[in-house]
Structure 1
Amino acid sequence: MGYQSNSKKDLPIISGIQQIGIGVCDAKEAWKWYRRYFGMDVPVFEDASTARLMTRYTDGIAEERYAILAMNMQGGGGFEIWQYTSKTPLFPKNEILLGDLGINAVKIKTRDIKKTYHFYKAEGLNVLSEIEKSPDGKSHFFVKDPYHNLFQIVESDSWFGKNKSLTGGVAGVIIGVSDINLSMPFYKSLLDYPDLTYQESGIQSDLNGILGQEEPLHRVKLQSSSQRCGAFSELLCNTEIELIQSTQRKVNKIYQDRFWGDLGFIHICFDIVGMVDLEKKASTLGFSFTVNSANSFDMGKAAGHFAYCEDPDGTLIEFVETHKVPIIEKLGLYLNLKKRNPEKTLPKWMLKLLAINKVKD
């Protein structure tokens, strides 16, 4: 049943963005690129199995897949790098424009944006923009990976540790929505992004170089709660969600006529505590779970309880309540989280032990 406490913090607890699911053709090749350019070099699990619980999103077929969850130990969310092994994954039908429904871009944080920008340019990466200032005064630029996925490199002051990587992990996402006023309650109330950083309308000059920027857009940025807690909250750090609505054109749904696991940004996954309470809250807000593993599932060396729901436009949101995670896999050292105080963060020294599993190229 998990930990029972007289805590002042009500369940559910949203600890932060655990990972972004990224569908690719070759997970090992993609992971090597993400290690070099985004510092995603610490594997939490590697797992090959059948996605039996996801048939709602795979046309009723239990597809075979291989996945790697990798983290950057400077802090922020990780990547679940995901590859079909039972079929050939599909590209989006149309080129993705800002405001198309779904995950438009993933935010990656950096301490030194100029150094990161010049490194990417020197390496020949597909850098799409100059360094620009967003409406809140923070610097950013955009880059595409070799698999046509869009990333926004952003300045950040929220960190867990420090290493040689120029970037940290996931700092947030840009999501295309059909109606910002309809979507904001979902992200503010259910996912705990209560703080409105800015709200802008019209041509967004700081988004130069990105398809769809030349059209009027309505745009808001939401900041995660300063009261984040839970075992991994310090590692996952503060994050932001930017919602973008195209106000003039008919938008496309990024995963229209495609399936979960096809190429691109599949889902946003949140690390949570209190899945039963979260399901009740989601249902009350009108966003019932569409998938629920019900009991503890195994993903290679990690285990937990996962569920999915959809935002008002069908963008997939995953929730994971972690039960077991490998700390030093080579020594068979695992951490059981089911009986811990749900509010309490793991000691920093313990989280840093994950770096022992780091992959060096």
Structure 2
Amino acid sequence: MKVQSFSHVGITVSDFHRFVQFYSDVFGCPLVGVSDAPPERVRSFFGVGLDHEAPRCKIGWIRVPGGATLEIFGFEPTCPPERIPWNRVGQTHFSFEVRNIHQWHAWLQAKGLEIVTAPEQSPRGHWFFFVRDFDGNLIELIDLRHMYYVLGWLGPLGGWLFRRGMYRQYYEGTPPAPGRR
């Protein structure tokens, strides 16, 4: 058994309409579906809002170019956002693949987004940087450059080879040898 592809990431938002407009204007991600969950569904499915007599949730699907989806939840009432530390176990960020990383950095900076890091090149040659949206969600923008083709065409073969070679210890459950990571 194996998954077919990455489908979506779920994000609870402070302002449904603002989130839709922001991701459409900034990243070109259109809203493709909306539904409203009544109080009984919010209580039974999400298990939240039990202390509120009529909790509600607007659910939306925002399509990311390339195929993934941002599933957004606009709860009423909401809880305030919290910044997630990198070393806390669990999700920390999501990533958009882009081209021309330095142009993206300048454009997002001019739009007033909170830029977390400057563009940085990895040892493998791809470029990336981090920004936050208005709710504080951490977004990585990554320009894979030549690695896009390597991952796209050679990814399955590389995964098969690495499982049997240099990354074998991760599949066998044995810790890597000191100095090998």
Aligned to 2:104: 116
Picking from 72, 88, 95, the partner of 2:78 is: 88
SS of residue in 2 equivalent to 1:16 = coil
Asked whether the equivalents of residues 49 and 55 of structure 2 are also in contact (C-alpha less than 8 Å), the reply is no
The residue correspondences of 1:140-151 to structure 2 (distance < 5 A) are 140-151=128-139
Aligned to 1:14: 3
Corresponding residue for residue 128 of structure 1:
116
Q: Which has the higher helix share?
A: 2
Which of 73, 78, 87 is the equivalent residue of 2:69? 78
Residue identity in the other structure for 1:91: P
Residue in 2 aligned with 1:64?
56
- Supply the distance in 1 between the matched residues of 2:108 and 2:161 (Cα, whole angstroms): 32
Distance 1:125 1:194 in 2: 40
Using a 3 Å threshold, how does the CA distance of structure 1 residues 54 and 137 change in structure 2: closer, same or farther? Answer: same
**What is the identity percentage for the equivalent residue pairs of Structure 1 and Structure 2?**
21
1:26–1:195 distance in 2 versus 1, CA, 3 Å: farther
Q: Report which of the two has the higher share of strand.
A: 1
Contact 2:56–2:75 (Cα < 8 Å) also in 1 = yes
**Cα distance in 2 between the residues matched to 1:132 and 1:38:** 20
Look up the match of 1:38. Answer: 27
Q: How does 1:1-361 map to 2 (within 5 A)?
A: 12-43=1-32, 45-49=33-37, 50-51=41-42, 52-55=44-47, 58=48, 63-72=55-64, 74-85=65-76, 87-92=77-82, 95-156=83-144, 157=148
The 1-side partners of 2:160 and 2:49 are apart by 35
SS of 1:68's partner is strand
Give the Cα–Cα distance (whole angstroms) in 1 for the partners of residues 79 and 160 of structure 2. 36
Secondary structure of the structure 2 residue equivalent to 1:15: coil
**Structure number with higher relative contact order (C-alpha < 8 Å, ≥ 6 residues apart):** 1
- Report the counterpart of residue 179 of structure 2 in structure 1: none
State the distance in 2 between where 1:149 and 1:194 align.
34
**How far 1:59 moved relative to its partner?**
7.6
Aligned equivalents of 1:194 and 1:89: distance in 2?
44
**Cα RMSD (Å):** 2.5
Q: CA deviation at 1:13?
A: 4.5
The code of the aligned residue for 1:79 comes to L
Q: Indicate how the Cα distance of structure 1 residues 125 and 63 shifts in structure 2: closer, same or farther if over 3 A, else same.
A: same
2: CA distance between counterparts of 1:22 and 1:110? 21
Q: AA paired with 1:138? A: H
SS of the equivalent of 1:104 reads coil
Deviations 1:251-273 (A, max 9, x none): xxxxxxxxxxxxxxxxxxxxxxx
CA positional deviation for 1:194: 7.4
C-alpha contact (below 8 Å) 1:35/1:41 kept by paired residues: yes
Unmatched tracts of structure 2, length 5 or more: 150-158, 163-181
Gaps of 5+ in 1: 1-11, 159-192, 197-361
Could you tell me how far apart the structure 2 residues matched to 1:77 and 1:40 are?
A: 10
CA-CA distance at 1:109 after TM superposition: 0.8
What SS is found at the alignment partner of 2:131? strand
Return the offset for 1:60: 6.3
CA distance in 2 between counterparts of 1:194 and 1:91 reads 40
- Count of aligned pairs: 144
Cα offset for 1:108? 0.9
Quote the offset at 1:38 in angstroms.
1.7
Deviations 1:193-236 (A, max 9, x none): 8787xxxxxxxxxxxxxxxxxxxxxxxxxxxxxxxxxxxxxxxx
Q: Give me the whole-angstrom Cα distance separating, in 2, the residues matched to 1:195 and 1:27.
A: 44
TM-score (normalizing by structure 2): 0.69
Give how far 1:131 is off: 0.8
Tell me, yes or no, if the aligned pair for 1:16 and 1:77 is still in contact at 8 Å: no
